[in-house]
Structure 1
Amino acid sequence: MISPTRGDALEISSPPGTLSVVIPVYNEERWIRRCVAALADAAARAGLALDVVIVDDGSVDGTPEVLRDLSSQHDLRVVTQPNAGRLAARSTGLAAAREPWVLLLDSRVIAEPSGLAWVREQIASHPTRQVWCGHVDVDTDGNLFAAFWSGLVKIGWRRYTSAPRLVSFGAEDFDAYPKGTGCLLLPADLLREAVAGFDSLYDVPDLASDDTRLLRYVAERHRIWLSPDFAFRYFGKQGFRGFLRQSYFRGTTFVDGYLGHAGAVRRALITAVLGGVGLLALAARRPAWGATGMGVITAALATAVRRVGGTRDEVRAAAALTPVFAVVFGSGVVRGLLLAAAHAVRGARGPSPR
């Protein structure tokens, strides 16, 4: 059904009538029921049949019991594997998907009721619009940590977030628009090609940037579409420990996603690393000056969030969490740089003799 042309729009004979949905889960007993219920409602409104594959990536909470209950209530399949990370879980789900169209969906990403109907009509009316990233609204109600991430998104992708509308982007403006694999709709064969062609700066697969790198591969071949009409709501994790883990992990994946690609983001990454080293050196010699420098960074980030239309909660979160984020995210960046260097050294040495 798909013509394997490179660089041109994919050609599929019809918009999706049945949609495969791959949902990786790890310790999400609270959210997976809501995710499936919202998905089923949106699909019914769109007249879509669903082929749902949920991959339990080694959960150790009550998620397996919840999934057994869901599988008895809904026509879905559950695949269980030892914990191997989101990329591996998605690959497992993709291998089990049966339909020519697939939606990648994370368990904390909740489909809005009309989104699938709208995007199905778009594909029917405009057959070249084949790849869609969901428009994600972050739920920040009572969640300081989610508000922090939402504010950062508004700074980095202000070209879209300042005026959400129907847009598309390719490799040339890839870094300017929000994107992610938490709600991604595309032809299954294209996704399989992207997974097969996935390459990382690291030797550790579960630390690789499965969002940015995977989508960059797609954008180099086909334009990616984005609209507030294809909408989802994301419910971030709460708690300080979760924020620390997420900041550290995102620092590591950020290096993998951007270090190998020239552009403004890589320049910003290099500048931030050099600035961080300088600030640490200053703090070691003059602690008061180091504290002043961190205060300036915090004020600048909070001001930037406000200027790009951030809410009061997002500005407050930037003011409260930037010092912690800068240290922990920076530590993740250092880890990423070390992993990339180790991978490069091993690659230069060639395969080990047997």
Structure 2
Amino acid sequence: MSRWAVATLVAVVATQTPAVAGQPAPSPGQSIAADQPIATGRVVLDAGHVDIGPRYVDGQWTLLIHDGTQPQPVWRSPDETVLRVSDAALQAVPDDPAYAFLGIDAGKRVHVVPQVQNQNVVWIGWNTQDPQVMQTIDRGATLNLLGVRGPGTLTTFLQAGNFAAPQVLWRSAEPAAQPFWVEVNTHTHANWVFSTPGVYLVTVQVSADLISGEKVSATRTLRFAIGDATSTDEAFAAVVDRSRMPVGEAAAGASRDAAGAPDDTSPLPLVVVLAGAALLLTAGLLLVLLRGRGAKRRAERERSTSPSGAQP
């Protein structure tokens, strides 16, 4: 077993089966209070425990960063947060075919946010543990990678502690959107591998079916500054290029970043789309009818004013 694999064994995968139907059991090692505040103002997180996860803000479903790097955890907007991965995260890619999915030459030093916490590196995971989220979603949520802008590649994968093969979740080298399922009351960490230092913008969508029958979806962009020499100011200033997202996802991920509001909402209901199509069809038929009548009147006038008055 390679040194890399030993360093990236599972730390926490805290999904549990509900003890009572409809009531999720508490997840060991972490619980989130319903009244945890949402902090404002720009911040750089470079060490400690951080999760991304769904939360309701003023009744609206969105994706936030759960900041556990301080004694009193808070939620933060991805627009105001840079996740800094310092050079303390550098590791050499092992000479092992099991890691060929990284697409990086063996021996190259890359920045790795490991699945097992390194106290000197920001520790990034995800959770579905906000109390209101747990009360409203039906079984779980989907996390979907829509696009990555950066100087290199990002790969996120899990590796179990029983010598199992790596389980790849996200690869920025893939052109399509990449969803994976997260059960309710889950708290998980994974390995995040960045091939090249620099600023990365990672656009993620979180969606779910609610027990009410509604569908909810939100898209946010995570900001990373990889390497000690990378400017966090540049990471804050970077702009997402949604034209490079997978086909069909760019529109769904249209954001309201400038207003500081949650990035997106669910797609338009089907009835609205059909109604719009019907209106366009009706307008087109009316235009054709009016043009036909106009042409008929012009032909009649020409016949009545011709010298011979002859019929065609």
TM (normalized to structure 2)?
A: 0.27
Bigger Rg, structure 1 or 2: 2
Q: TM-score, normalised by structure 1?
A: 0.24
Higher normalized helix content (fraction of residues): 1
